[in-house]
C-alpha cells in the first residue's frame, strides 16, 4: 500500500483535480475526450512512479542509547524534559495512521536490546475490544527498511536481527529510525507504551567508557556524566569491578571521582517478573518509569534518582576502584514460572568530578589461567640474555603476561613483560654473572583479572661451542667415515654419539691443545644416522650438544671368489682361500665344505685387502668340495662364490717318515737326530717296498700314521671315529 505526505501533496492533488475539471485548459468540443484520456494516463503514471511517502507524526531523537521514550503518557523524572514523550494516536475512520519516530545513533556490531512494553500489553483473556496493536518498522541510516515487527494486539514488541536470544546488532554506524504505528485495523485503543533501547554487555568481558563529571562544586553535570547497560546472569552471586583512573601528579591530571555505580534488577522470568520474549527477559513498562515491584525496577540515570542500597557501589576519592559482590533479588514466589533462572539487570555508571575512562566488568567465572613453560630446561649463559617461552591457556581474553625474576632468592625482584609470538609468549631476561642462580615466575591475567603462573630457575655458566663435520654423507656396509670437530674447551673429554633408529653408540674423544679432535668410525648398522658431539658440563661450563649431522649407510653387495693352491693330502694342513670384491675388511665368511661322507662349516673374516683363508687337516681321502658365503646381515647382502672342487690324496712314504721324525726334535729327545739319519737312509734304500714288507709281516712291529695339527688348522675325521 502506498502512503503519501499530508500537506504539500494535497495541494498538488487539488490542483490536478481543478485541471481535470477544465480549469486552466483550453478545451474544444473535438479535443475534450482526448485531453481527458491523456490526463488520466498522466495521473496513473505519476502514481506508479512516485516514491513511497509517509504521513509523519512527531519524532524523538535519543541522544543516549539507554533512555526510555514514553508513548501516549507523561514522562516521569528524570525524563520529563519534553524530549522523551511521543504521541501515537489511533486514526479514526479512513484516516491514514500517523506513525511516531524514534531516532538514535548506534554503533556497528554492538548488541542492543530494543523493545516496546507498557500498559497496552494485556492478557488475551481480557476483552479484545480494548487491545492496542503497535507495529514497528526499523530503518538504517540510509532509510532502508531493515525489519518489520508486527506482534498481535496486546503483545509486546521486540526488535531483533535474528532468532531466539538475539539482539539488535547494527550493520553500520549511524542513526537508526524506529517507526511506530498504531495499526488502524487491528488496534482498538491507544494505551500507553514505553520504548526502550539499551546496549547489552556480556558477563566476564571487560568494557570501557569515558565519563565527564563536574569541574567543581556547584557546577552542572556535563552531558556524558552517565551511561547505562543491560546484562544478565543466572548466577546467585556476581562481582562488579570498576577500575577508575588515578590522578597523575607529574601531568596534573586529577583522575576521575565516581559518584555511584548502580544495579537495577529489571526482569526475572522464572519469578514471573517482566515478560519472556524469545528467551530474553523484558521488564514491565512501569519498572522503566521509576516505579518498583519489590527489589525489581526503579530504573533511572540521574544523580537524584533512587537506588537500591544493596545494589550500589560508591567512591570516596578520585581514582578509587570499586569492587562489590551482588546477589539475586529476594522474592516470595515459590513456583517457577519459566525454566530459566536468568535475571536481567541494568547497570548505571555516574561520574561526579573530573573526567576519565573507566574499565569495568561483571564477573562470574573465577577459573585460573594455565601457564606452562615451553623451554623448562633453559640455561643461562654468562654475558647473554636468556629468552623464556611460555604458553597461556585462558577462558577469556588474555590481558597481560609478565615475568618476575630474582638472583637473591626473592629478597629483591624485577619484572619483564612477555609479548605474543608464534610459539606463545616470550620475554628476555637480562645478562647475569657467572654462577648466578636465577629464579623466575611467569604470570598471566585475563580481562577479568583471573590469574595463573608457573616457576623456573637456572644457573648461569659459560657456553661451550661445539662444531664438527663428517667426511661422507653416504656409505655402504663396511666403509668408514671421519669425524673432524672443534670445541671451545681444549684438552677436554667429549663424546661423539651415533644414533641409527633404535641403535646408539658413543665414542669418547679428547680435544687437543687448540680444541680440535678427530675420529674414524665404521658404522655397524644400515640406515640413517644422526651424529652429535656432546659435552657433559662442569662447575663453570654448561653441558652442550652440537647441532646434529647425518649420513646414510646402505647394504653392500660383495662378489665372493675362492681358490685352492696345491694338493690336499690327508693329515696335512691345507688352506682354502678367497677374496671379496670390493675389498672390505672384517666381512664374516662361512666356508661350507663337503667331504666324501658329510659336510662341515668353517668361519673366518676378511682382511683389509678383502682376502680370507681357512686351514683344515683332512683325514678322508677322495673328492672334496667347498663354497664360501657371505651371510645376510645389517651391512651385507647374501652372496656366494662358485663351487670349488679338490681331491684329498695319501701322504708319500718320505712325508710320513719326516712327520714321524719331527716328534723327536723336541726336548728331551735330543738324541733323535742320529736315529733320523739312519731311518732316512733306510727309507731311501728300501723305498716303499720295505715299508710294505714290514706292514705285511706278523709280529710286534706297528707303523702309526702321524698327524700334525698346526696352529689354526682343523682336523676332520670320519663321523664314525669322532667322539660325541
* pLDDT averaged over every residue in the chain: 84
User: Is the bond leading into 164 cis (omega within 30 degrees of zero)?
Assistant: no
Chain center to CA of 260: 42
End-to-end CA distance of the chain: 120
Per-residue confidence band for 699, with pLDDT thresholds at 50, 70 and 90:
very low
> d(Cα 268, Cα 284) in Å, to the nearest integer?
11
Phi/psi of residue 307, nearest 5 degrees: -145, 155
> Out of 230-239, 461-470, 548-557, 714-723, which region has the weakest mean confidence (pLDDT)?
714-723
Query: Given this model, what pLDDT does residue 631 score?
Result: 85
Q: CB neighbours of 722 closer than 8 A, spacing ≥ 6?
A: none
* 685 has pLDDT over 50: no
Mean predicted confidence (pLDDT) in 82-107:
86
Q: Are 435 and 541 in contact (CB under 8 A)?
A: no
- Burial class of residue 218 in the structure, from the number of CB atoms within 10 Å of its CB (0-12 exposed, 13-18 middle, 19+ buried): exposed
Query: Given this model, what pLDDT does residue 175 score?
Result: 97
* 29 has pLDDT over 50: no
* 681 has pLDDT over 90: no
User: Over the stretch 346-357, which tens digit does the pLDDT of each residue have?
Assistant: 999 999 999 999
> Using alpha carbons only, how large is the chain's radius of gyration in Å?
54
For 221, other C-beta atoms within 10 Å of its C-beta total 16
Phi/psi of residue 12, nearest 5 degrees: -65, -40
Query: Given this model, what pLDDT does residue 27 score?
Result: 37
For residue 659, the surrounding DSSP H or E stretch is helix 653-661
Regarding beta strands 644-649 and 622-630, do their DSSP bridges make them parallel or antiparallel, or are they unpaired? antiparallel
Regarding beta strands 69-71 and 85-86, do their DSSP bridges make them parallel or antiparallel, or are they unpaired? parallel
- Which cell numbers hold the place of 716? 676332520
- Which cell numbers hold the place of 713? 688348522
> Out of 197-206, 296-305, 495-504, 712-721, which region has the weakest mean confidence (pLDDT)?
712-721
User: Over the stretch 442-494, which tens digit does the pLDDT of each residue have?
Assistant: 999 999 999 999 999 999 999 999 999 999 999 999 899 999 999 999 999 99
Per-residue confidence band for 566, with pLDDT thresholds at 50, 70 and 90:
confident
* 14 has pLDDT over 70: no
Pick the closest to residue 556 from 586, 590, 530, 526 (CA basis). 526
* 507 has pLDDT over 60: yes
* 311 has pLDDT over 80: yes
* 33 has pLDDT over 70: no
Per-residue confidence band for 56, with pLDDT thresholds at 50, 70 and 90:
low
> Out of 232-241, 483-492, 589-598, 679-688, which region has the weakest mean confidence (pLDDT)?
679-688
Q: Are 461 and 540 in contact (CB under 8 A)?
A: yes
Per-residue confidence band for 420, with pLDDT thresholds at 50, 70 and 90:
very high
Per-residue confidence band for 696, with pLDDT thresholds at 50, 70 and 90:
very low
Per-residue confidence band for 123, with pLDDT thresholds at 50, 70 and 90:
low
User: Over the stretch 639-652, which tens digit does the pLDDT of each residue have?
Assistant: 999 999 999 998 87
- Which cell numbers hold the place of 240? 562488579
Q: What percent of the chain has pLDDT over 70?
A: 80
User: Over the stretch 520-552, which tens digit does the pLDDT of each residue have?
Assistant: 999 999 999 999 999 999 999 999 999 999 999
* 698 has pLDDT over 80: no
Query: Given this model, what pLDDT does residue 154 score?
Result: 87
Q: CB neighbours of 698 closer than 8 A, spacing ≥ 6?
A: none
- Burial class of residue 238 in the structure, from the number of CB atoms within 10 Å of its CB (0-12 exposed, 13-18 middle, 19+ buried): buried
Name residue 458's beta-bridge partners. 438
What b/e string do you get for 667-684 counting C-beta neighbours within 10 Å, with b at 16 or more?
Answer: eeeeeeeeebeebeeebe
Mean predicted confidence (pLDDT) in 271-289:
92
**Mutual orientation of helices 32-49 and 7-20 as an angle, nearest 10°?**
160
- Which cell numbers hold the place of 571? 693329515
Query: Given this model, what pLDDT does residue 8 score?
Result: 34
* 623 has pLDDT over 90: yes
Pick the closest to residue 389 from 375, 378, 399 (CA basis). 375
Q: Are 413 and 396 in contact (CB under 8 A)?
A: no
> Out of 184-193, 415-424, 690-699, which region has the weakest mean confidence (pLDDT)?
690-699
Mean predicted confidence (pLDDT) in 174-194:
90
Pick the closest to residue 651 from 553, 571, 541, 565 (CA basis). 571
Regarding beta strands 237-243 and 322-327, do their DSSP bridges make them parallel or antiparallel, or are they unpaired? antiparallel
Query: Given this model, what pLDDT does residue 166 score?
Result: 80
Q: Are 106 and 178 in contact (CB under 8 A)?
A: no
* 224 has pLDDT over 70: yes
Query: Given this model, what pLDDT does residue 114 score?
Result: 97
* 339 has pLDDT over 80: no
Phi/psi of residue 565, nearest 5 degrees: -110, 125
Provide the 3-class DSSP secondary structure of residue 216. coil
User: Over the stretch 126-183, which tens digit does the pLDDT of each residue have?
Assistant: 556 678 899 999 999 999 999 999 888 889 999 998 766 689 999 999 999 999 999 8
Residue with cell 644416522: 529
Query: Given this model, what pLDDT does residue 400 score?
Result: 97
Regarding beta strands 256-267 and 312-314, do their DSSP bridges make them parallel or antiparallel, or are they unpaired? antiparallel
* 719 has pLDDT over 90: no
Query: Given this model, what pLDDT does residue 336 score?
Result: 56
For residue 175, the surrounding DSSP H or E stretch is strand 174-182
- Which cell numbers hold the place of 387? 629468552
Pick the closest to residue 301 from 255, 347, 239 (CA basis). 347
User: Is the bond leading into 601 cis (omega within 30 degrees of zero)?
Assistant: no
Q: What percent of the chain has pLDDT over 90?
A: 65
> d(Cα 283, Cα 659) in Å, to the nearest integer?
127
Query: Given this model, what pLDDT does residue 705 score?
Result: 39
> d(Cα 471, Cα 162) in Å, to the nearest integer?
71
* 390 has pLDDT over 50: yes
Per-residue confidence band for 18, with pLDDT thresholds at 50, 70 and 90:
very low
Amino acid at each position: 500500500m502506498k502512503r503519501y505526505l499530508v500537506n504539500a501533496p494535497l495541494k498538488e492533488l487539488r490542483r490536478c483535480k481543478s485541471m481535470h475539471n477544465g480549469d486552466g485548459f483550453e478545451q474544444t468540443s473535438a479535443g475534450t475526450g482526448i485531453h481527458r484520456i491523456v490526463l488520466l494516463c498522466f495521473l496513473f503514471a505519476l502514481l506508479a512512479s512516485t516514491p513511497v511517502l509517509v504521513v509523519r507524526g512527531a519524532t524523538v531523537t535519543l541522544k543516549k542509547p539507554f533512555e526510555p521514550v514514553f508513548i501516549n503518557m507523561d514522562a516521569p523524572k528524570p525524563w520529563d524534559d519534553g524530549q522523551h514523550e511521543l504521541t501515537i494516536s489511533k486514526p479514526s475512520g479512513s484516516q491514514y495512521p500517523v506513525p511516531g519516530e524514534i531516532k538514535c545513533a548506534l554503533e556497528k556490531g554492538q548488541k542492543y536490546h530494543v523493545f516496546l512494553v507498557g500498559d497496552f500489553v494485556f492478557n488475551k483473556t481480557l476483552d479484545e475490544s480494548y487491545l492496542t496493536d503497535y507495529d514497528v518498522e526499523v530503518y538504517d541510516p540510509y532509510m532502508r527498511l531493515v525489519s518489520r515487527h508486527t506482534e498481535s494486539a496486546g503483545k509486546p514488541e521486540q526488535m531483533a536481527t535474528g532468532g531466539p536470544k538475539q539482539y539488535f546488532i547494527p550493520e553500520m554506524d549511524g542513526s537508526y529510525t524506529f517507526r511506530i504505528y498504531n495499526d488502524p485495523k487491528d488496534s482498538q485503543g491507544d494505551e500507553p507504551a514505553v520504548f526502550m533501547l539499551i546496549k547489552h554487555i556480556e558477563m566476564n568481558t571487560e568494557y570501557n567508557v569515558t565519563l565527564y563529571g563536574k569541574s567543581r562544586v556547584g557546577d552542572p553535570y556535563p552531558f556524558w556524566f552517565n551511561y547505562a547497560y543491560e546484562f544478565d546472569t543466572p548466577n546467585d552471586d556476581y562481582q562488579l569491578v570498576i577500575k577508575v583512573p588515578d590522578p597523575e601528579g607529574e601531568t596534573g591530571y586529577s583522575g576521575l571521582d565516581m559518584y555511584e555505580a548502580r544495579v537495577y534488577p529489571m526482569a526475572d522470568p522464572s519469578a514471573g517478573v517482566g515478560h519472556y520474549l524469545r528467551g530474553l527477559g523484558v521488564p514491565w513498562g512501569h519498572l522503566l518509569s521509576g516505579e518498583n515491584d519489590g527489589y525489581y525496577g526503579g530504573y533511572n540515570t540521574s544523580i537524584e534518582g533512587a537506588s537500591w542500597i544493596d545494589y550500589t557501589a560508591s567512591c570516596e576519592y578520585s581514582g578509587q576502584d570499586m569492587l562489590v559482590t551482588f546477589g539475586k533479588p529476594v522474592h516470595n514466589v515459590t513456583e517457577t514460572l519459566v525454566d530459566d533462572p536468568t535475571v536481567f539487570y541494568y547497570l548505571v555508571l555516574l561520574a561526579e568530578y573530573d573526567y576519565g575512562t573507566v574499565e569495568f566488568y561483571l564477573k562470574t567465572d573465577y577459573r585460573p589461567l594455565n601457564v606452562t613453560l615451553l623451554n623448562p630446561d633453559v640455561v643461562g649463559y654468562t654475558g647473554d640474555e636468556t629468552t623464556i617461552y611460555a604458553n597461556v591457556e585462558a577462558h577469556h581474553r588474555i590481558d597481560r603476561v609478565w615475568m618476575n625474576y630474582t638472583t637473591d632468592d626473592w629478597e629483591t625482584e624485577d619484572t619483564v613483560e612477555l609479548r605474543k609470538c608464534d610459539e606463545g609468549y616470550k620475554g628476555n631476561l637480562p645478562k647475569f654473572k657467572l654462577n648466578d642462580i636465577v629464579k623466575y615466575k611467569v604470570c598471566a591475567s585475563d580481562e577479568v583479572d583471573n590469574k595463573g603462573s608457573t616457576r623456573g630457575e637456572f644457573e648461569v655458566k659459560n657456553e661451550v661451542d661445539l662444531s664438527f663435520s663428517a667426511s661422507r654423507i653416504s656409505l655402504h656396509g663396511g666403509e668408514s667415515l671421519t669425524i673432524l670437530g672443534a670445541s671451545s674447551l681444549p684438552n677436554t673429554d667429549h663424546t661423539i654419539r651415533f644414533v641409527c633408529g633404535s641403535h646408539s653408540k658413543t665414542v669418547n674423544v679428547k680435544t687437543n691443545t687448540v680444541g680440535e679432535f678427530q675420529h674414524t668410525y665404521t658404522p655397524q648398522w644400515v640406515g640413517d644416522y644422526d651424529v652429535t658431539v656432546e659435552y657433559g658440563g662442569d662447575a663453570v661450563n654448561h653441558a652442550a650438544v652440537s647441532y646434529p649431522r647425518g649420513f646414510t649407510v646402505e647394504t653392500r653387495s660383495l662378489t665372493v671368489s675362492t681358490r685352492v693352491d696345491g694338493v690336499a693330502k690327508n693329515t696335512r694342513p691345507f688352506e682354502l682361500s678367497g677374496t671379496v670384491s670390493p675389498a672390505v675388511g672384517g666381512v664374516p665368511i662361512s666356508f661350507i665344505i663337503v667331504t666324501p661322507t658329510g659336510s662341515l662349516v668353517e668361519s673366518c673374516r676378511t682382511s683389509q685387502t678383502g682376502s680370507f683363508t681357512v686351514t683344515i687337516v683332512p683325514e678322508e681321502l677322495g673328492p672334496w668340495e667347498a663354497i664360501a658365503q657371505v651371510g645376510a646381515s645389517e651391512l651385507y647382502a647374501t652372496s656366494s662364490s662358485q663351487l670349488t672342487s679338490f681331491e684329498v690324496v695319501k701322504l708319500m712314504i718320505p712325508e710320513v717318515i719326516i712327520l714321524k721324525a719331527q716328534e723327536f726334535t723336541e726336548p728331551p729327545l735330543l738324541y733323535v737326530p742320529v736315529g733320523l739319519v739312519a731311518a732316512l737312509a733306510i727309507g731311501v734304500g728300501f723305498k716303499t717296498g720295505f715299508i710294505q714288507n714290514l706292514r705285511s709281516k706278523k709280529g710286534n712291529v706297528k707303523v702309526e700314521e702321524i698327524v700334525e695339527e698346526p696352529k689354526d688348522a682343523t682336523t676332520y675325521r670320519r663321523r664314525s671315529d669322532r667322539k660325541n
